[in-house]
Amino acid sequence: MNLEPELQLLQAAAAGERRAQLALYELCYPVLISAARRYYHNTDEQMTVVNNSFVKVIQYLNNYETGRFLSWVKRIISNEIIDEYRRNKRYNELYRFDAPVEERGAPDFQTDQIFSHEQLQRMLLSLSEPARLVFNLFAIEGYSHKEIAQMLGVTEETSKWHTKMARKKLRELIENIHE
């Protein structure tokens, strides 16, 4: 399914044509809301971050050079979430843990069970905020620890530590569902 918008639509949206902006919103919405749901429980919070990100999309549409539009939108919402996280002063929690983390060798988790999107989301949202943020960036969005460390202004060790803690918690949750 090709979800990339036409250039004409982008130009009209950048020019401030409301109908084009709403059509573009419709197109970006799945990307935006799926990211928002991974980070926030609350619908109001999801709405704020989704719409703020889309306003930034419109605001900087003239700077967008042709390429993968939805990847660009994804990056915008990721940065918006990071900024939002820091604005709400929950940022300090990330600095609490700076112990060295042992690199794991082979993956030690196996499951055949199939989980729905909602179940996975619920498990993800049960993580602490810093762990959720780092795990989302690392495991789901595919950033490296180095990139996460740069984006969040923490050390790589901190990023790894939060990923490890998130995995541990998620494993427990999956095991609980099994039982």
Partner 1 sequence: MNNPVKDPLDELFSSLNDLVQESPSPAFVQDLEARLDALEKKRRKPLLIWWFFSALGAVLFSGSYFLFFSNHAANQGQQHAENKNNTSAQAMTKKQMDTTSFASEFSSLFHPSTSTYTSTSTSNSSSSSSSSSSSSSSSSSTNLIAPFPTTSSTLLSSSVSSSNAAPSPDNTRVQEETYIINPILLSDDHEKDCVLIVDQPTPVLPKAVVPTKKRIQHQIGLQFGVSGIFSSFDLPASHPLLTDDQMKLFRETREFGERNTSSWDFNLRYGMSINNWQLQTGLHYFEWGEQLQYDVISVEGTNRYRYLSVPLLLGYSFDFGKIRMSPFTGLAYGKCLTANGNYIEPQVNGVTLVTAKNFAGTFIGQLELQYVLNSKLVFTCTPVYRRALGPLIDQQLIVNSYQSLGLQTGFLYRF
**128 touches partner 1 (CB under 8 A):** no
Binders of partner 1 in range 8-27 (CB under 8 A)? 16, 18, 21-22, 25-26
Collapsed DSSP state (helix, strand, coil) of residue 126: coil
Please, what is the minimum distance in Å from the beta carbon of residue 166 to partner 1? 9
- DSSP labels for 61-120? GGGPPSS-HHHHHHHHHHHHHHHHHHHTT-GGGGGG-----PPP-S----------HHHH
Helix (H), strand (E) counts: the chain: 8, 0
Instruction: Give the integer Cα–Cα distance in Å for 36 and 97.
Output: 25
Instruction: Give the integer Cα–Cα distance in Å for 79 and 151.
Output: 8
**177 touches partner 1 (CB under 8 A):** no
Please, what is the minimum distance in Å from the beta carbon of residue 158 to partner 1? 14
**95 touches partner 1 (CB under 8 A):** no
Instruction: Give the integer Cα–Cα distance in Å for 111 and 31.
Output: 27
* Near partner 1 by CB under 8 A: residue from 9, 12, 23, 139: 139
Nearest of 21, 133, 158 to residue 78 by alpha carbon: 133
CB closer to partner 1, 6 vs 150 = 150
* Near partner 1 by CB under 8 A: residue from 141, 155, 156, 157: 141
Binders of partner 1 in range 102-121 (CB under 8 A)? 104, 107, 109-111, 115, 117, 120-121
- Binding-residue pattern over the window 55 to 94 for partner 1, x denoting contact by CB under 8 A: xxxxxx--x-----------xx--xx-xx--x--------
Other Cβ atoms closer than 10 A to 51: 13
CA 134 to chain centre: 9
Binding site for partner 1 (CB under 8 A): 3, 16, 18, 21-22, 25-26, 29-31, 33-34, 38, 47, 50-60, 63, 75-76, 79-80, 82-83, 86, 104, 107, 109-111, 115, 117, 120-121, 124, 135, 138-144, 147, 150-153, 167, 170-171, 174
